[in-house]
């Protein structure tokens, strides 16, 4: 299963709309992503990123909700790892 993750645009480089790249902050982890599909995106916006491409802008509140869901999923996975088998 593939998952698109929201991140905040910290900086943008490139003037050509097809080669614009952004440094995206995923909860403290910075990665580069192509911004060609979101030419309206600017520094400070939240975008949904999948395999290195920002696909769409997303509301900041919605991005934070996704971060909370991911955090909960990680905590549930850790609980499952500590479970003793039969």
The pTM assigned to this predicted structure is 0.80
- How many domains does the structure of the chain reveal? 1
DSSP for 1-52, written as a single string: ----EEEEEEEEE-SSTTT-EEEEEETTEEEEEE-TT-TT--TT-EEEEETT
Per the document, the length of the chain is 86
23 lies in a domain?
Answer: yes
35 lies in a domain?
Answer: yes
86 lies in a domain?
Answer: no
12 lies in a domain?
Answer: yes
Query: What is the Rg, in whole angstroms, of the alpha carbon atoms belonging to the chain?
Result: 16
74 lies in a domain?
Answer: yes
Structural domain boundaries, residue 55: 5-81
40 lies in a domain?
Answer: yes
Q: What was the pLDDT predicted at 1?
A: 55
26 lies in a domain?
Answer: yes
Please check the confidence at residue 82 and state whether its pLDDT lies above 80.
Answer: no
Q: What is the pLDDT of residues 8-53, one digit of tens each?
A: 999 999 989 899 999 999 888 899 999 999 999 999 999 999 999 9
Residue 16: give its domain's CATH number: 2.30.30.140
């Amino acid at each position: 299963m593939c998952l698109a993750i929201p991140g905040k645009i910290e900086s943008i480089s490139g003037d050509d709309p097809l080669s614009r790249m952004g440094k995206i902050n995923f909860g403290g982890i910075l990665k580069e992503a192509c911004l060609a599909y979101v030419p309206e995106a600017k520094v400070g916006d939240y975008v949904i990123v999948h395999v290195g491409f920002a696909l769409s802008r997303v509301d900041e509140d919605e991005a934070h909700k996704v971060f909370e869901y991911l955090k909960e999923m990680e905590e549930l996975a850790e609980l499952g790892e500590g479970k003793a088998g039969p």
